[in-house]
Amino acid sequence: MQKLKVLSLPYLVWMFIFILVPIIMVAFFAFTNNEGALTMENISDVGQYANIFIRSIWLAIIATAICLVLSYPLAYILSRIDKHKQSTMLMIVMLPMWMNFLLRTYAWMTLLGNNGIINNLLELIGIGPLKLINTSGAVVLGMVYNYLPFMILPLYSVMEKIDKSVIEAANDLGCNSFKVLFKVIVPLSLPGIVSGITMVFVPAISTFIISRMLGGGSNLLIGDLIEMQFLGNAYNPHLGAAISLVLMAIILVIMTVMNQFSPDDQVLI
Amino acid sequence: MKKLSKAYIGLILMFLYVPIFVLIVFSFNETKSRSVFSGFTLDWYARLFNNDIIISSLINTIIIAVLASIVSTILGTLAAIGINSMKKVPKALVMNITNIPIINPEIVTGVSLMLLFVFFAARMNVEFGFVTLLIAHITFDVPYVILNIMPKFKQMDPNLFEAAQDLGCSPMQAFRKVILPEIMPGVISGFLMAFTYSLDDFVISYFTSGSTSQTLPITIYSMTRRKVSPEINALSTLIFIAVVIVLIVKNVIENKQNKKNSLYRRS
């Protein structure tokens, strides 16, 4: 078996050049200036954008919470229907995820627009037109719409494994449905909750497309900030690298905290 | 309770599908209005097929996805076999680094590769375009291939490889006849995953593509930035139909396999 180690050599070289070196370069850029001298300036400059960081974290938390609340009952219902119907139902739920997320976000752009369908309907019944697009609400809606399947899938895959007889046993032993939920189903589905939260939170906090398409110019997120430093007018890769580094640190902290809730060694990505 | 469940599923499905159906309906709209349907037309589809930028970026996307998924499947399969035979500590180290592109936000992977390519571009004659795009795609594809294959080794008897050699196989034969068939399901699912991720990727491509080599998602993005064009609706409709067909075919194949397997088990 030992001889087989050689086979991984091409990948190890690739991994070093294209995964490890780029990440080290991000760290290097974050702590240097244009002349290549060591500096803490970029990191301390990130502090100026505290409001954008707080907004990103806040909107991502709201979107993640809404995804969890919407997905939990759905995943449970899906996991309890007939086995042969399950795969078809799951396919129908996951199908929109296979469309490119730009198109999914574009769909909401046209729905929420000032002359969009929703505003036209609202006018018919006498309300509005309301300002729907270019609000932080629209950004949260975009996040929920795009990342909902990322919450449904891990929840469904843990709930599917919960044996029906466990729930029946809890009922027989005198639990009401409320108690069954909090004493049996929630603890057993905890790994799914943890992985669903990280799978929604990470893309939500780092998005720049959703905020740009649905949030207008007034709802900048961390992702927009990074993008502006690398491809925008504000070209400053050193600051962009520093912001990326802080973003990675925030995500690392949150994932470490989340993994505390995951029982034993089931650390999920 | 049953009715409530059905109503709930219905509501969620409405939330998921209504935006897409509105998009589809307005792809047949005569005017550019996004709220009033004034008449049926197939004009936008005709324009779509005559739009050189869209067609060329579609071809480019497919070429990149095919190449990236093939290269990453080969690279990843060899890597998985090698990593599996490593000792505990180096194995954990390599797997942790492999996880970086999966855990990291896409935008960070994108800008980190961009920094690397800028560095190369300044020193060697590398330009942003097809090559950088392909390298970026392979880089985020390989970890998925490896993660799809690794669990297959856990189900495999570690002595099989040596047993095959004891029975007269050369190492190459043992690899082909013993290891490969065992991990094949993981290789295939890894390949398919890499392919779909490549087709769909926007964020990483956006930072690594430059202006010469665009993928379809990048073209879609620049179309949404400019004025409204129902061509996007037409494109969405076609993509939606393609996705539905692919998923139905996949479902039918899986159901057939399941039936075959259960028959096999019974006999």
Cβ contact B79–A25 (<8 Å): no
**Burial class of B105 by CB neighbour count within 10 A (0 to 12, 13 to 18, 19+):** buried
Tell me if residue A38 falls in helix, strand or coil: strand
pLDDT tens for each residue of B173-202: 888 888 889 899 999 999 999 999 999 999
**How confident is the model at residue B266, as a pLDDT?**
56
pLDDT tier, A264 (very low <50, low <70, confident <90, very high otherwise)? low
By the 10 Å C-beta count (0-12 exposed, 13-18 middle, 19+ buried), A181 is classed as middle
Q: Has residue A177 got a pLDDT over 90?
A: no
Shortest CA distance from B244: residue in chain A: A95
CB contact under 8 A, B9 and A117: no
Please give the pLDDT value at position B246.
92
More confident residue, B145 or A167: B145
Q: Assess contact for A181 and A98: CB atoms under 8 A.
A: no
Compute the nearest-CA separation of B220 from chain A (Å). 7
Q: Which residues of B touch A230 (CB under 8 A)?
A: 111, 114, 207
Helices (H), A81-219: 83-94, 101-112, 117-124, 136-159, 164-172, 177-180, 186-206, 209-215
Q: Do A59 and A144 touch, CB atoms closer than 8 A? A: no
pLDDT given for residue A268 in this prediction: 45
pLDDT of residue A250: 94
Which value does ipTM take for this structure?
0.91
| Number of Cβ atoms within 10 Å of the Cβ of A137 | 17
Q: Does the CB of B254 have a partner CB in chain A at under 8 Å?
A: yes
Question: Is the CB of residue A20 less than 8 Å from the CB of residue A11?
Answer: no
Q: Which pLDDT does position B154 carry in this prediction?
A: 84
Contacts of residue A244 in chain B, CB cutoff 8 Å?
A: 107-108, 111-112
Half-sphere exposure (Cβ direction) of B140: Cα atoms closer than 13 Å: 32
Q: Which residue has the higher pLDDT, B13 or A115?
A: B13
**Chain A residue with minimum CA distance to B112:** A22
Tell me the three state secondary structure of residue A140: helix
Superfamily of domain B48-266: MetI-like (1.10.3720.10)
Residue B128's pLDDT is what?
Answer: 87
B257: its two tokens? 């396999």
pLDDT tens digits for A35-53?
888 999 999 999 999 999 9
Q: What is the CA radius of gyration of chain B?
A: 23
Determine the Cα–Cα distance for residues A1 and B86; give it in Å rounded to an integer.
Answer: 9
Cα(B253)–Cα(A61) distance, rounded to whole angstroms?
39
B239 touches chain A (CB under 8 A): yes
Say whether residue B116 is in contact with chain A using an 8 A CB cutoff.
Answer: yes
Q: Residues of B with CB below 8 A from A213's CB?
A: 224
Q: Search chain A and give the residue with CA nearest B75.
A: A11
d(Cα B179, Cα A220) in Å, to the nearest integer? 50
Look at chain B and count its residues: 267
- Chain B CB contacts of A99 under 8 Å are 20, 236, 239-240, 243
CB contact under 8 A, A4 and B82: yes
| Pairwise CB contact (< 8 Å): B247 & A1 | no
What local confidence, expressed as pLDDT, does residue A249 receive?
Answer: 94
pLDDT at B265: 60
If you average pLDDT over every residue of chain A, what do you get?
90
Q: What is the mean pLDDT of residues B91-115?
A: 95
Q: A266 pLDDT exceeds 60?
A: no
Sign of CA pseudo-dihedral B123, B67, B98, A257: positive
Q: How many CB atoms lie within 10 A of CB A135?
A: 17
List domains and CATH numbers for chain A: 50-231 (1.10.3720.10)
What are the phi and psi torsion angles at B24 (to 5°)? -65, -45
- Ranked by mean pLDDT, the top range of A128-137, B152-161, B188-197, B256-265 is B188-197
B193 touches chain A (CB under 8 A): no
Gap between the Cα atoms of B88 and B92, Å rounded: 6
DSSP per residue over A49-83, as a string? GHHHHHHHHHHHHHHHHHHHHHHHHHHHHHHHS-H
Check if the beta carbon of residue B71 is closer than 8 Å to that of residue A6. Answer: no
Query: Is residue B60's pLDDT more than 60?
Result: yes
Contact A226, B128 (CB under 8 A): no
Q: Are A204 and A60 in contact (CB under 8 A)?
A: yes
Q: Is B235 on the interface with A (CB under 8 A)?
A: yes
Chain B: residue whose CA lies nearest to A69: B12
Q: Residue B93's pLDDT band (boundaries 50, 70, 90)?
A: very high
User: Rounded to an integer, what distance in angstroms lies between the CA atom of residue B85 and that of residue B101?
Assistant: 23
Task: Summarize pLDDT for A51-98 with one digit per residue, the tens.
Answer: 999 999 999 999 999 999 999 999 999 999 988 888 889 999 999 999
Q: Per-residue pLDDT for B238 more than 80?
A: yes
Q: How many CB atoms lie within 10 A of CB B217?
A: 22
Tell which phi-psi region holds residue B210, choosing left (phi > 0), alpha (psi between -120 and 50) or beta.
left
In percent, the amount of chain B with pLDDT more than 90 equals 63
At residue A268, φ and ψ (nearest 5 deg) are -105, 150
Q: Which residues in chain A touch residue B202, judged by CB atoms under 8 angstroms apart?
A: 100-102, 209
State mean pLDDT over A123-143. 88
Among all residues of chain A, which has the CA nearest to that of B1? Answer: A77
CB contact under 8 A, A5 and B82: yes
Cα gap A110→B141, rounded to integer Å: 33
Supply the pLDDT for residue A78.
94
Residue of A103, A145, A180 to mutate for B, most B C-beta atoms under 10 A: A103
How much of chain A, in percent, has pLDDT values that exceed 70? Answer: 96
* pLDDT for residue A122 is more than 90: no
| Strand-pair partners of A32 | A38
Model confidence, pTM? 0.91
Amino acid at B170: S
Nearest to A231 by CA among B158, B185, B236, B210: B210
**Beta-carbon contacts of residue B55 (< 8 Å; ≥ 6 apart):** B49
Question: A85 in helix, strand or coil?
Answer: helix
Given a cut of 60, whether residue A267 has pLDDT beyond it is: no
| CA B32 to chain centroid | 32
pLDDT of residue A269: 40
- Mean local confidence (pLDDT), A189-204: 94
Q: What percent of chain B has pLDDT over 70?
A: 97
Under an 8 A CB cutoff, do B217 and A100 touch? yes
Which of B94, B108, B138 minimises the CB distance to A248? B108
Q: Which residues of B54-72 are buried (b: 16+ CB within 10 A; e: fewer)?
A: beebeebbeebbeebbebb
B81: helix, strand or coil: helix
**Is B139–A10 a contact, with Cβ atoms under 8 angstroms apart?**
no
Cβ pair B107:A117 closer than 8 A = no
Spell out the SS3 assignment of B144-159: HHHHHHHHHHHHCCCC
- Mutation target vs B (from A8, A13, A71; most B CBs, 10 A cutoff): A8
Give the integer Cα–Cα distance in Å for B208 and B121: 12
When mean pLDDT is compared over A178-182, B90-94, B221-225, the highest value belongs to B90-94
Measure CA B214 to chain center: 17
Distance CA B241, CA B256 (A): 23
**pLDDT recorded at residue A178:** 85
